[in-house]
Structures are given as structure tokens and as C-alpha cells.
Structure 1
Amino acid sequence: MSTPTRILLLDDHSLFRESLVRLLESEPDFRVVAHCATVSAAIDVLQRTPIDVVLLDYDLGEERGTDLLRQLHACKSSPRVLMVTAGISERTTLDILNAGVAGVLFKHSNPTQLVDAIRKIAQGEMWLDGGIVRSLVSGVKDRGAETRNTRPLTSRQQEVLSGILDGLTNKEIAWNLKVSESSIKAVIQELFQKAGVRTRSQLVRIAIEKHAGDWLSNDKKLG
């Protein structure tokens, strides 16, 4: 039997935490290690206990979820973070992607989406709601942000980037494009080099913020 995904939940609303814990513990492959309301309490857990995925609210009353992100490097474990929020601005979304958040999910989303998001993130993938991506791209284009046209993408690189923005795994992208998963991994490394990044979340942020007018201009799903 595989090891359950170890989850830490950080949210300042106790009723939401308790209901979410009940939902997550009904899944046999999840184990809620702890849930807390403050950044300091979360850091204390992370320094003592291995955690795979942190479910993090952005608005923690007097604190912000980004306060935890800045302190994660000092923890023994290196969990992946899913921001579960009632809503955040486009600027904040881009900033937390750059900080390494592996996904963003709205609190009003279907519980099935949350479960799917946790599983994908635990496997090293990303989760971004399609509405979030479309909103970010539209906002950047509406502002007429300057794009960098010096390093255009090949058609294959655009296809793979589109798959990443759709929240697909490497295996799913490979199946859609009828190529091997190793080929997809190679293309993703090419994208990392062109964007000057090291993670998928940073790639998404750069693609949206800096290249919406060229790298994403041919993506029909995001237009």
C-alpha cells in the first residue's frame, strides 16, 4: 500500500478547517497531519514533521499566506504548496507563482477539484484553474504589457506550454501530442531555459506576465 500524502492545512477560519479536514480524511490516500490558524503554528509543525502538501489560505487575518512562503526555506521538509483562497489579485497570483506555489484553487471550487489538485501537486505537477489562467492572460493583454519577442517558441514548445497552462501532467501532454513522456520533459527543460526559470510555476508566471503577446498569442484556449 502506498504511503498517504501528508497534508498540513493553514487557514484562520476554524469551521472551514474542520469541514475540510473531514473531507480530506475521507480519502484513503490522504493524511491530515495537522491544521492550524497562524503562520508560527504552521512553521512549528513543518520543523518537526515531514509534510508533502500545504493547503494555504492567502488571507489569514493579520497575516498573509506569503508570510509562510518566505519562511519555508528554513524548514526541514520541502512541501509543495496549494493556495486555497476566496480570491486574490492578478498581481498577487503572479507573485506567489514566482515564489514557488504549485497551484491556486478557489474555495468555491468543487471538492472533487480540490482532491484532484492535491494529488497532482503531490506528484510534482501544477494545478491552475482555467479561469485563473484566462483572467491573468486577459489582464496582461488589456494592460498592453511589453512582451519579449527575442526568443520565440517552436510549435511544439507552444503545445507543451499550453498543456502546462491547462494543468495537464507530463503524461497527459505526451498522450495528447502522441509522443513519449521523456520528449515532453525535454521540451519543458527547453522552456525553462528560454524563460530563465527552474520550476513550472515560475514558467507559468513568466509566460503570462512577460510573453502573453507572443508565446501565448496562438493559444486558442486562452485567447
Structure 2
Amino acid sequence: MLKMVTATRYIAPLHEGGSLPGLVEADDFGTYVMKLTGAGQGRKTLVAEVVCGELARRLGLRVPRLATVELDPVLGLGEPDQEVQELLRSSGGANLGMDFLSGALGFDPLAFSVSRAEAGRIVWFDALVNNVDRSWRNPNLLMWQGELWLIDHGATMIWQHNWPAAEASAARPYDASDHVLRPFAPDVAGAAAELAPLVTEDLLAEVTAEIPDAWLAAEPGFDSADDLRRAYARPLLARAAAVHERIDGIEGAK
């Protein structure tokens, strides 16, 4: 299960993200980037962060450690920004925290080099989860301690916003023509051979078990949280075997 911590101090909002995440200290003395249930797509964004982050980690990609952060809205009373105050007031309870990588630099494809193998693994993974938010305009990659780290997976698995059409949506091709790692000639075929066999029903059950029940409650069309967990797993399992054959915009991907 995800580590559970309680926010003890709200430090500041991070205006780089459209959902206004915030930097908090917690009772384990850690510092976290906290994404809030009251922002944007709400809990669905947090579910996507958990599923993609934990799946990426199990596939050997580097993702900041995730945690659930219990928030008392009173922590935001001293925040001068009215929008942030309202967001905190609407986000009491369990929110998502990601380890703050102090000193990390935003990835710049003109300043850093990435191997074909690593670029291929990331592009393949982004195709698997249909990540539309890894472009050169917004890479959502960090360089920390000389290594490449993946962040911000809220804009993935768009099929979760329309479950009746999830199967058809998950079968669509992935357009990688704007992917920030495209210039590094990603070895997608090699990544598929390495990673696709790892995406099993058991692995996806393990990953989706990390989603807090509170973020799955009262979803129309589902009788239980576990039914919804299986719905998250099915498109990923179906997509893994052949998604590399449906990646557009990268030479030699198929």
C-alpha cells in the first residue's frame, strides 16, 4: 500500500501546474508535492497518478515515491491566494503526495542526452497509458542526481472519463510525433520486447490495489471499488501486447 502521511505545514502553491499542486511538509519529516482532490478532474487525476506511477516503477522507470497525504484544510488559512484557499478547503482528507526532488532540473532535450534504450522505454510506457503530456513544450521529466525521472501522469488513460467507450478508446493509436524524446531515436521495439511481457494481470492487480478506496467510491456503473480497479486494469492489459505497433510519428517504432 502507498505510504500514509499527514500534512503538518503547507509551504507554498506550485504555479507551474494547471491543477495548482502545493508543497507540504508531513509528519514523517518529508517534503511532498501534493495534488488535491478538489482540483481539475479531481480524484480521477490522482487515480491516474497512482496507476501510472506505480506501474512505471514496477517496470523499472524512475518515478518519485508516492504517498497519500491527509490534509486538514485549516493548514491553508494563512495562504494569501484566495483560489488556493478555496482549493484547500475543498480537498480535506486523503490527497496524493509525491516526494519532492530537491534540486531537480526540468528536462531540456537540448541540454541533456538520453540513450535510445531509455527513450524507447519511456515512449513505450507513454503509449501504453496514452500519455498526451510529454511534449517538448511540457516534458514532465526531471533530471535529478544525473538520472531521468518521470512526473505528472494526470493526463493519461483518457478512457477513464467515459467507461462505456473505454475498450474502443484504449485501442486507438498513440501519436508520438510531438514526444520530447523523439529526437533521441527511441528503441520502441526493444522496449516492447523487454516490458510488454511484464504487464500481466497479476501485476496490474497489484498496481490497482494501491488506489485508495475513497478515490473509487460512487463511480457510476460499478458495484464496488474492486470492480472499478479491474476496469482500470483491462485496457492496459489488452494494450500492452501490441501498442508498439500502433505508435505513430517515430521512425522504426513498428
Q: When the two structures are superposed, what TM-score results if normalisation uses the length of structure 2?
A: 0.27
Higher strand share: 2
Where relative contact order (Cα < 8 A, 6+ residues apart) is larger, the structure is 2
Higher helix share: 1
